[in-house]
Structure 1
Amino acid sequence: MLYFIFYRFSMNSKSGLVYMWISFEMVINIVMTILYGYVYLSIFTAFFIGNIRRPVGFYIMYGLHIGFTVISTGAGFFVELHLFLSQLPFVVLTILAVVLLPLTIYSKNKRENLEGQLETANERIAELIVFEERQRIARDLHDTLGQKLSMIGLKSDLASRLIERDPQQALVEIKDIRQTASIALKEVRELVSDMRTAKFEDELMRISQILKAAEMEFIFEGDKNALQVPPLVENVLSMCLKEAVNNVVKHSGATKCEIAFHQNFKEVYLVVRDNGQGITKKQAWKTGNGLNGMRERLEFINGSFKIESVEGTTLTVTIPVTITHQNVKENLKNI
């Protein structure tokens, strides 16, 4: 009873008091082991030592606990030989637990702590990337629109003054205004197109993290750096990959997700396959799984996809490369 009171105090204590209560537990362990053969209490102390966060404190208490456990067990053999021999296998297992349990728990806690720090660092990096992207967009807008809008304003004032005094020169200025506005519009379209583009390689990295968090095996086949398509097509392909993997995680109940990517001179292929419960045609077009949006995006670039439900679900996206380049040029003009 006294041991568990000390154990309770050690769980609720902070700072140096923890080591004091653990020391009391060790003393009780020694007495109970030598007199009564209760070596099993050492396992509770070993478990708690494994949860010590400070490396120095952990290794000191860990070493002391192993030493005291071995010494008290050895002394117990001299005091109660028959008692210890009768439970020798359990004594050996207890000593192994005293040696291995704290290290296992300490390593697990340390890994979780590092993973938490890594996640925080990744969130911070993501925030910095967003901030940097906003700064870049602000600079691009200033460089793209600022000068040209100022020029349009100046030439508009000049044209308004020349329209009665020198109509020919006023027409020249108006033509310059129109040309400058066209250039500015083109640059804005290019800027918006860059802002909307999602990188296929970045999306692969993101979904690998999602599948890892969902405890799914991730297999990728193909060369992620071999994608040679216009930015708009890469954006559509990345969005389709995102929707497909989201459906796998949310609805499939799978344990494995395979992604294959191939490109030849005619077509681009993206295959997302899982070993889940499959999907019916009715479920495929159900609102909320993103397949309608995927179809609309692919139709925009003359692409298509098909779904097969055999031993899981297989989604195959096909985009014709030759048509793609022509369509992208036409569609960008309409942005």
Structure 2
Amino acid sequence: MQKWNNIFPKNTGVSSYIWIIFCLLPFLFIFRLSSAKEIIFGIIMTLLFFLFFRLSFISNSRFIYVWISLEIAISLIMTLLFGYIYFALFLAFFIGTIQHKGGFLSLYIVHLSTTIIAITIVLFTKNESLFPQLPFIIISVIGVVLLPFTIRYRQKEQRLEGKLESANERISQLMVLEERERIARDLHDVLGHKLSLIGLKSDLAGKLVHAKPDAAANEIKDIRQTASTALNEVREMVSNMRGVRLEDEIIRVQQIIEAADMEFQFEGSTTLKNTPLLVENVLSMCLKESATNVVKHSQATWCGVTIEQSQTEVNVRVEDNGKGISDQIDTYQSHGLQGMRERLDFVNGSMELLSTNGTTLNLRVPNVIQHTKQEESI
């Protein structure tokens, strides 16, 4: 079932105002007649056509073919009696929206053949009325031939793009979940035993501190050594995590942007100091998602990426000169921004979205290594 606001054809390459003119034109053809009965009959046929056309969009599949058959009959009557052939364009559009291949081909053949036959009859019998609009008739016939296939393939492309976007969002969510679970397992394996040992030795040291100070001192020394070992193992685990370097991701982003016939500009350095590979991997994934959004949704002609690193954080800024997006919940979900925010939250990062004269996306991640050093020195 189609939505009510799709009653006027969209994405056909023809302006909406042209379709409105097609809705008003039949009355011009009808009122040219002198007979009151013919005028009334023509008005009734026109109103019935738009009624059936509306019912075609809101009815289920069993009745769609009934309404279309009635619309074809009315279109033929209007062509033969009044020389008005432009209802055929409305029918051509709606036939293109039918997904069933057999029904589409059957209606296409019937509609095309009946339209050509009706136009031929009118040209031979009332050529004086159709001759002034012959160029428009030729354009209408071309529309009847091509428009159904154009609409059909365009809708198929939109459905595939929607499925692809949903699949990419789902993959992004699953990647975040899998990464969290993997890191949680690794941290548990690395830290679980040692933290338990530290807890037991701390309890033992507390009991020995007054009775056996030397033994308590040895236990405290063991606690310090165990904590240092655990810290080194966590650092080694983080540094060994496989990820994508910003340097490699920038090259891929440039290729994507330039493949979309957009200008790409990069400022800054991809060499990050004191930044774990996990953080760099998260920034690379977010940068890739940002570039994908620019290509898919921005309608921009230029995209710039800036990487800045201060003593406290890394800032990646992605800008474009497109139409911008709204900071709404549905926008975050449809553009994969929620997944980016979740990845950044995992490394204590943040995201800021600005939509003025285009879109600016700021990704900020703190230098966690510096915080770790501070904790070690305490």
Global fold match (TM > 0.5): yes
Aligned: 1:152 with 2:195 = no
Give 1:219 shift: 3.2
Aligned to 1:333: 373
Aligned to 2:263: 219
On the 8 A contact 2:257/2:263 being kept in 1, the answer is no
Alignment of 1:212-291 (within 5 A): 218-220=262-264, 229-230=272-273, 232=275, 238=283, 255-259=301-305
On the 8 A contact 2:274/2:370 being kept in 1, the answer is no
Quick one: structure 1 residues 77 and 150, their matched pair in 2 at CA, closer, same or farther if it must change by over 3 Å? same
Give 1:275 shift: 7.2
Identity fraction in percent:
46
On the 8 A contact 1:162/1:170 being kept in 2, the answer is yes
On the 8 A contact 2:71/2:91 being kept in 1, the answer is yes
Aligned: 1:131 with 2:171 = no
Give 1:69 shift: 1.5
Aligned to 1:20: 66
Aligned to 2:118: 72
Aligned to 1:39: 85
SS of the residue corresponding to residue 61 of structure 2 reads coil
Aligned to 1:105: 151
Quick one: structure 1 residues 203 and 16, their matched pair in 2 at CA, closer, same or farther if it must change by over 3 Å? farther
CA distance in 2, matches of 1:122, 1:26: 42
| Residue ranges of structure 1 left out of the alignment (5+ in a row) | 262-269, 277-326
* Letter of the 1:79 counterpart: T
Cα offsets for 1:308-328 (capped at 9, x unmatched): xxxxxxxxxxxxxxxxxxx99
> How many correspondences in the alignment?
262
Give 1:163 shift: 7.2
User: Among residues 56, 81, 84, which one is paired with 1:10 in the alignment?
Assistant: 56
On the 8 A contact 2:262/2:303 being kept in 1, the answer is yes
* Letter of the 1:26 counterpart: I
* Letter of the 1:114 counterpart: L
Quick one: structure 1 residues 38 and 254, their matched pair in 2 at CA, closer, same or farther if it must change by over 3 Å? closer
CA distance in 2, matches of 1:330, 1:13: 64
Give 1:34 shift: 3.1
Give 1:173 shift: 4.1
CA distance in 2, matches of 1:49, 1:35: 24
On the 8 A contact 1:35/1:79 being kept in 2, the answer is no
CA distance in 2, matches of 1:233, 1:165: 45
Aligned to 1:119: 165
Quick one: structure 1 residues 159 and 228, their matched pair in 2 at CA, closer, same or farther if it must change by over 3 Å? same
Aligned: 1:90 with 2:133 = no
SS of the residue corresponding to residue 257 of structure 1 reads strand
Cα offsets for 1:160-203 (capped at 9, x unmatched): 677799876665444322111112234445667899x9953797
Using the TM superposition, name which of 198-207 and 118-127 deviates more. Answer: 198-207
Give 1:65 shift: 1.6
Aligned to 1:324: none
What RMSD in Å do the two structures reach over aligned CA positions? 4.8
Aligned to 1:184: 230
On the 8 A contact 2:205/2:219 being kept in 1, the answer is yes
Aligned to 2:311: none
CA distance in 2, matches of 1:117, 1:205: 27
CA distance in 2, matches of 1:151, 1:143: 13
* Letter of the 1:219 counterpart: E
